[in-house]
Structure 1
């Protein structure tokens, strides 16, 4: 793999300053940008390792602390190995913070993240990709919908509540999305039951969105996160294959330049 260079950066937003993790190939070239949205557990060694792996494939990756309104990373102290079933107090602390990240705030932040990326010499001109995990999957969809001129690809892995009956459910934004999408759903995911998957597929199809959605059989919600009890190595590696293929199609083809 290509060596990477990493740093901690600050991104100004309308509501303050978001700390973020930046990683890119260790050279002087500009590379296609990818915005990586964290899961609810936030920026931590496992997530930065994922960002590094993505960067080693030729991308400049930015991982913002989307909970910055509640402080800099780490917003919530976590054990090295996360098992919410054994530590229900974790979500008791994280839950209220998640709920305060409203769709309006998320979209406002996305604009700030993307604008900041345009100022960085490490990020190539042109469209960017977005990938999101768990709660980050919804953020990825909202970003693609709010910035169709900037986002060429968005990947969503073990996302939750993507097609609820709420008026601000992410699936209702399908008509605004021009990016190519990929979904790697978790099997029997309490946060995205079959009826939501069907509703999401229907909305995307009716809107004419280019997308592919797969259910990873036997994989639990959170399967990509190696520092949690939900980790599934085979499913996680499958996610890497699909994510890199999507980004290569959208950001490295002649049409993406």
Structure 2
């Protein structure tokens, strides 16, 4: 069985923040950064970390809200307004630096074999994109990144030119927060990237979150998850 613990990550400006860590039975293994929804590092995120660790990955899920409110955690839709308010206050330049610090921390962990991917959901889908475009440690970026319905992805045409790893995007075709025109823009921006795929599902926003019944769509979630695991199995190999 995987084991779990808390890791303290040192930020670029000398503070520390939490990251939930799940380690597979037989490390060293490829690593994955897991990026939270607006509900924080909650049961859903910890459950996803464990599922990835069961597949043989070392997982770190950083507390992205730590500069606003440490260890913020809500379970379901009842915490949406609070989490969304925190998300609106995020300084994404600082968040990008915190992601890079977490990336460096994972690379330095003895359980990580040197290959690192990323996956995020909702807010985390945007952060996964930020990981792909902005995070570099000693000149290298992630090996592969998956973004689930990232609603705050901006300047995708410019950002696509910074992406140098395979990416997989998951979107719901009935998402009230992400117009299909926005998904069209992502597809167009990455049209010349043969290793980037944009997929759409007959589902709404946050369709993968089993802790939020009004959003969850099991059929779409299961299909997207199977494709995510196939994607990581293909691309997360030791450099």
TM-score, structure 1 normalization: 0.85
Which of 43, 68, 71 in structure 2 is aligned with 1:70?
68
Uncovered stretches (5+) of structure 1, i.e. residues with no partner = 164-168
- SS in structure 2 of the partner of residue 101 of structure 1: coil
Distance in 2 (alpha carbons) for counterparts of 1:42 and 1:69 = 13
- SS in structure 2 of the partner of residue 244 of structure 1: helix
Which residue does 2:23 correspond to in 1? Answer: 24
Distance in 2 (alpha carbons) for counterparts of 1:56 and 1:43 = 19
- SS in structure 1 of the partner of residue 21 of structure 2: strand
Which of 1, 6, 9 in structure 1 is aligned with 2:7?
9
- Any residues of structure 2 matched to 1:1-257 within 5 Å, and which? 3-15=1-13, 16-27=15-26, 29-73=27-71, 75-76=72-73, 78=74, 80=75, 82-83=76-77, 87=78, 90-125=79-114, 127-147=115-135, 149-163=140-154, 169-206=155-192, 208=193, 210-217=195-202, 219-228=203-212, 229-252=214-237, 256-257=238-239
Kept in 2, the 8 Å contact 1:54–1:61? The answer is yes
Uncovered stretches (5+) of structure 2, i.e. residues with no partner = none
Q: CA deviation at 1:171?
A: 4.7
Q: CA deviation at 1:147?
A: 3.2
Paired residues, number: 234
Which residue does 1:166 correspond to in 2? Answer: none
Query: CA offsets, 1:9-62, max 9 Å, x none?
Result: 1111135322111001123x2110100001111111121011100111110010
Distance 1:162 1:215, change over 3 A: same
Kept in 1, the 8 Å contact 2:117–2:236? The answer is yes
Q: CA deviation at 1:233?
A: 1.1
Kept in 2, the 8 Å contact 1:179–1:209? The answer is no
Kept in 1, the 8 Å contact 2:123–2:150? The answer is yes
**Which stretches of structure 1, 4 residues or more, deviate above 4 A after TM superposition?**
none
Q: CA deviation at 1:119?
A: 1.7
Distance in 2 (alpha carbons) for counterparts of 1:162 and 1:154 = 14
Distance in 1 (alpha carbons) for counterparts of 2:99 and 2:90 = 12
Q: CA deviation at 1:145?
A: 1.2
- SS in structure 2 of the partner of residue 32 of structure 1: strand
- What is the root-mean-square deviation in Å for CA atoms of aligned residues? 1.7
Kept in 2, the 8 Å contact 1:153–1:247? The answer is yes
TM-score, structure 2 normalization: 0.91
Q: CA deviation at 1:212?
A: 0.9
